[in-house]
Structure 1
Amino acid sequence: MWDALIPKFGVKITPAGSKIFIVRYRTEAGASRKYTIGPTNAIGLEPARDIARQVLAAAAAGQDPSRDRTMTRDAPSMIDLRDRYLEEHADPHKKASSAKNDRILWKKHIIPRFGNRRVGEITRADILEMQSAMFAKHHTANRVVALLSKAFNLSEVWGWRTPGSNPCRHVKKYPEDGRDRMLNPEELGRLGQALLQLEAQRIDPPSFVPLIRLLLFTGCRRSEISNAQWSWVDFENSLLMLPDSKTGRKIVQLSEAAMEIIRELPREKGAIYILPGRIKGQPIKSPRAAWESLITMAELPDLRVHDLRHTVGSIGHRIGLSQKLIAGMLGHKQMATTERYLHTYDSDRKDATDRTAKQISEWMGEK
């Protein structure tokens, strides 16, 4: 049954009685092709006519829509892109924690939206629509777009997209809250009292209170302290050797207050981590419940763990330390490998960490 308006467009009735819109055309080589548009009960007449016009126009321009559709059907999907991205880029070239974060972004935000789509089909409009849907989570939206931008760049290298077609190009990032939250003396006092109360209550996990105190007395990132191993601690020189921090290998000069905490930590035979978690042989994980209890008790509802690092740097500045000393206090990127370096590791830096930790300890009401 052919349409009176569009030549070669019509309805095919299958042996089972189903009705399907189709359009026929010839390729440049003269081969006859049939393009199936879809069931009549799923697509209206006018939309089907529009598709037929597009197919005929493409054929007139020398294209082969039926073959192109088959190629598209067999083209790599976004799931394929995820798998290859993780296998060939994230796992071999990124830190394990970063690769883990990438997996979470794929699982929670990308695959649910684009999983069944073909890599070559994704447009800038798709990316903008996804970004708009994540408006309430600026930081996460920016991370997802950055990940996809890298993945689409790789897809061009792999021949899965046309060179220069990355749909994330010119997609502007959301502005992020660049606030640097620093605790003032009164807030540090409340935090110190809350830590004492949680310690008296034997908060679970037991390593939580030492974790927070060490973060305040070192200025380290949470992962650097929570994953710290006994073998990384140089007790003689008061150093923490981090073989794989965010910035690579680095040395942290430990204050006397931090060393005192470490010396008092229980150390079971064969223990690896200075702050063990609930699972034997594993370090303390992100203790959300304990953190919520702490900031609620201290009346600091907007406090983030990373704000403790900002606080250390801020107090260092407040007591007159130079920017160079503050940077060194928060962690030296190079790994010391010689005895000479250890013995001359900048006594000013040790003094800076001690002065800063002493000030924090006083404001926390611990000394």
Structure 2
Amino acid sequence: MSKPKLNNGVVDRLQARASDYVTWCGALPGFGVRVRPSGRKSFIVQYDFEGRSRKVTVGTFPTLTVDQARKKATELLAKVQLGEDVAAKPVAEENPTIAELCDEYLTKGCGHKKASTKVTDKGCIERHIKPLLGHRRVKDLKRRHIEDFFSAVAAGETAKNEVIDGKRIIVKGGEGAARRTVRLFGGILTYAIGREYISENPRRGVKIGKDNANERYLYGDELRRLGDALREAETVGLPWQFTQGAKTKHRPKNADTLREVIDPYAIAALRLLLLTGCRLGEILTLEWSQVDLERGFLRLPDSKTGKKDVILGAPALKVLADIPRVKDNPYVIVGEAKGKPRSDLKRPWRRVIAHAGLPGLRLHDLRHSFASMGAASGMGLPIVGKLLGHASPSTTARYAHLADDPLRRASDSIANSINAAMGVAPEASNVVQFKEGVA
């Protein structure tokens, strides 16, 4: 029975089996497609050279169509007829450059990621990975290359400040960017293993340090100052602070009082961030249809970790109940544009933290403060993780040092019992003062 001519339909219908197998083309002897148990399909050329059977991989399907692969195979077989052992030379498709691998990853390897995450990944690839590593071949990559890459990004070698298509692009680099990019690159190399470009991940063993070195939690007096600033901002207004070069439209309307009342929607958003532990994007894009005041939930159809419900405490419910709804605007935190949400909180946040005496406090630190308060209250890390919507317990583990430790409670109990037996009043043993602020 004659072999059929390979075409895209034939190759596409080939099913994976328990072991490798090859389907040969009836139109071009020596040209075939190898199917692996993983489902990967590679075009190959087989020929005899100096009494030995040789094979060379032409490319993969569907990166190459059958016609493209057959054309390459024809060229290789012609070289064999002229006395060249083409299998002695690597084929580029089996050893792509890092730039080519990254392009393939963005097309085929990150379909499970959210659109916003893909945009972030592409930015890291274009601004850091390609400029420093794009020229290298995947199989030539060593751990030392990734270590050097981390050091270069951390040192700011990829930093840029330029205008492209009318938009200013600022790439800062630094250790945080270096850590994020190396983690992404490790995932890209894991994809390369799945595609059988490499067998081991050179990212393994590369030390990149830990995140959250500057993570900040609000306690005691800092929370009080933030609360005072928010109340003042929405009632009598914050004292105006003139900034050199600031736009006049941002100056207070009443120049006699020199106070600025902050937009109530911005203040409500800040309170919700602190009282729910939600991420900024989850609050700014929140719609009234996702708010269940009766049952006390936010029903978020999408978040960083997928669909989730946010349980609302009484203070958060009060904030939501007090927010005025705007006709024909589905969003809770409305913006200036009709039917649109507020785009960011940068300016009101700067005003509030300046007045509260909390320089450097980030909006995301409100989420950390929510988590740290829960951990320190003895609720347990699993519960805190559920409230925050963490997909992995390891993410919540960063707050473990703040958790109410049963061993500490036991130690306190024993020490207090000893003190009582010695005639020392319980309050006299409470002399340790903890610093507040940066953890």
Same fold (TM over 0.5): yes
Aligned partner letter, 2:203: C
- Say yes or no: does 1:132 pair with 2:190: no
Aligned partner letter, 2:290: W
Aligned residue number for residue 88 of structure 1: 108
Aligned partner letter, 1:163: S
Aligned residue number for residue 345 of structure 2: 287
Aligned residue number for residue 7 of structure 1: none
Whose helix proportion is higher, 1 or 2? Answer: 1
Which residue of the other structure, out of 124, 132, 137, is the alignment partner of 1:105? 124
Q: Deviation per CA, 1:263-321, whole angstroms, max 9, x where unpaired?
A: 23232233232113455444333433333333222221232222212322343455665
Aligned residue number for residue 194 of structure 1: 229
Aligned partner letter, 2:129: I
Structure 1 residues 132 and 317, CA, compared in 2 at 3 Å: closer, same or farther? closer
Q: What is the CA distance between 1:138 and its match in structure 2?
A: 2.7
The answer to whether the 8 A contact 2:276-2:312 is kept is yes
Aligned residue number for residue 217 of structure 1: 275
Q: What is the CA distance between 1:213 and its match in structure 2?
A: 0.4
Structure 1 residues 86 and 332, CA, compared in 2 at 3 Å: closer, same or farther? closer
Q: Distance in 2 between matches of 1:74 and 1:89?
A: 17
Aligned residue number for residue 259 of structure 1: 317
Q: Distance in 1 between matches of 2:150 and 2:389?
A: 35
Q: Distance in 1 between matches of 2:384 and 2:204?
A: 37
Aligned residue number for residue 365 of structure 1: none
**Secondary structure of 1:241's match?**
strand
Identity %: 37
**Secondary structure of 2:278's match?**
coil
- Gap runs ≥5 in structure 2: 1-48, 51-83, 156-173, 238-259, 392-439
TM-score normalized by structure 1? 0.62
Structure 1 residues 83 and 286, CA, compared in 2 at 3 Å: closer, same or farther? farther
Q: Within 5 Å, which residues of 2 pair with 1:184-333?
A: 184-199=219-234, 200=237, 201-203=260-262, 207-316=265-374, 321=379, 326-327=384-385, 329-330=387-388
The answer to whether the 8 A contact 2:305-2:389 is kept is no
Q: Distance in 1 between matches of 2:339 and 2:99?
A: 35
Aligned residue number for residue 162 of structure 1: 198
How many residues align? The count is: 268
TM-score normalized by structure 2? 0.53
The answer to whether the 8 A contact 1:234-1:240 is kept is yes
**Secondary structure of 1:171's match?**
coil
Report the aligned-residue RMSD.
Answer: 3.4
Is 195-204 or 246-255 further displaced after alignment?
195-204
Aligned residue number for residue 179 of structure 2: 142
Q: Distance in 1 between matches of 2:122 and 2:265?
A: 28
Q: What is the CA distance between 1:96 and its match in structure 2?
A: 2.6
Q: Deviation per CA, 1:13-38, whole angstroms, max 9, x where unpaired?
A: xxxxxxxxxxxxxxx97xxxxxxxxx
Q: What is the CA distance between 1:145 and its match in structure 2?
A: 1.2
**Secondary structure of 1:251's match?**
strand
**Secondary structure of 2:302's match?**
strand
Aligned residue number for residue 68 of structure 2: none
Pick 1 or 2: higher relative contact order, CA cutoff 8 A, min separation 6. Answer: 1
Aligned residue number for residue 78 of structure 1: 98
Q: Within 5 Å, which residues of 2 pair with 1:174-185?
A: 174-178=209-213, 180-185=215-220
Structure 1 residues 326 and 177, CA, compared in 2 at 3 Å: closer, same or farther? closer
Structure 1 residues 321 and 172, CA, compared in 2 at 3 Å: closer, same or farther? closer
Aligned residue number for residue 122 of structure 1: 141
The answer to whether the 8 A contact 2:329-2:340 is kept is no
The answer to whether the 8 A contact 2:333-2:342 is kept is yes
The answer to whether the 8 A contact 2:128-2:153 is kept is no
Aligned partner letter, 1:182: Y
Q: Distance in 2 between matches of 1:79 and 1:332?
A: 33
The answer to whether the 8 A contact 1:250-1:332 is kept is no
Aligned residue number for residue 256 of structure 2: none
The answer to whether the 8 A contact 2:330-2:339 is kept is yes
Structure 1 residues 288 and 89, CA, compared in 2 at 3 Å: closer, same or farther? farther
The answer to whether the 8 A contact 1:194-1:297 is kept is yes
Is 233-242 or 81-90 further displaced after alignment?
81-90
Q: Distance in 2 between matches of 1:176 and 1:154?
A: 24
Q: Distance in 1 between matches of 2:341 and 2:278?
A: 16
The answer to whether the 8 A contact 2:147-2:206 is kept is yes
Q: Distance in 2 between matches of 1:112 and 1:280?
A: 41
**Secondary structure of 2:104's match?**
helix
Structure 1 residues 111 and 289, CA, compared in 2 at 3 Å: closer, same or farther? farther
Structure 1 residues 179 and 271, CA, compared in 2 at 3 Å: closer, same or farther? same
Structure 1 residues 283 and 111, CA, compared in 2 at 3 Å: closer, same or farther? farther
**Secondary structure of 2:301's match?**
strand
- Gap runs ≥5 in structure 1: 1-27, 30-62, 334-367
